[in-house]
Amino acid sequence: AGSDRSTLELPATDDSPEGRLRRVAQVMGADFPANAIAIDATRDGVHLAGHVSIPSFSRANALQQYAYVNGRPVRDKLIAGAIRGAFADVLSRDRHAVTVLFLTLDPAIVDVNVHPAKADVRFRDPGLVRGLIVGAIREALANAGIRAATSGAAGMMAAFRPGAASYAHPGPANGHRSHEAAYRASGFAGFDPARSPQRPLDA
């Protein structure tokens, strides 16, 4: 049977913030950079970088969630679950964020040979990786002034729940960081779209 994958051929871009911004727009769509928040966090030697969409820029499926582990494209259930958990308070269950995430860690603490196509990985400390992803995304959303929309009894319960986290941002939402600053922090230069199957956005 023939493969349903196709190679995406794109013009070269330089490694400047503007160049990386153009490459992301070419792959994810021209609207993505203006609706994305930069992620950059490190915990116990594991570094996470990339971009996630704001809740209003969501999709009906998770096909536009890209993840890379030490530069290798993966489709990993733990990473997908962490993304869903991070957005649980700001997205309904039938909507999915658009994401491009890069995990960099010691190769000794991740097994990339658990799937014949090497699409799945196994982390020695899955709790560390999940916690890093959830925490970094939630912090980025909070810093952008994005919080859960609660009302009525549900809102009252959430407000008084012991240990409940609040992602409210004082004053009006200040939006995400400027594109140049965000993309400089993201480490997006390692993105290789040609290694990932491309599917049309499902708006």
For residue range 191-201, what is the model confidence (pLDDT) as tens digits? 554 454 444 44
Percent of all residues in the chain with a pLDDT value above 70, rounded to a whole number:
63
Distances (CA, A) of 190 to 25, 104, 138: 15, 11, 24
Q: What's the pLDDT score for residue 160?
A: 52
Q: What's the pLDDT score for residue 135?
A: 98
Phi, psi for residue 65 in degrees, rounded to 5 = -110, 110
Look at 33-42, 73-82, 177-186 and tell me which has the smallest mean pLDDT: 177-186
Residue 84 has pLDDT above 70, yes or no: yes
Domain 17-191 sits in CATH at: 3.30.230.10
Q: Which residue has the higher pLDDT, 97 or 7?
A: 97
Q: What's the pLDDT score for residue 78?
A: 95
Q: Both tokens of residue 80?
A: 């997908």
For residue range 129-159, what is the model confidence (pLDDT) as tens digits? 999 999 999 999 999 999 876 544 444 444 5
Residue 203 has pLDDT above 50, yes or no: no
Q: What are the residues whose beta carbons fall under 8 Å from the beta carbon of 92, sequence distance 6 or more? A: none
Q: Which of 52, 158, 155, 55 is nearest to 102 (CA)?
A: 52
Q: What's the pLDDT score for residue 6?
A: 62
Work out the pLDDT band at 10, boundaries 50, 70, 90.
Answer: confident
- Per-domain residue ranges of the chain: 17-191
Q: What are the residues whose beta carbons fall under 8 Å from the beta carbon of 118, sequence distance 6 or more? A: 72, 74, 112
For residue range 23-75, what is the model confidence (pLDDT) as tens digits? 778 888 889 999 999 899 999 999 999 899 999 999 999 999 999 999 899 98
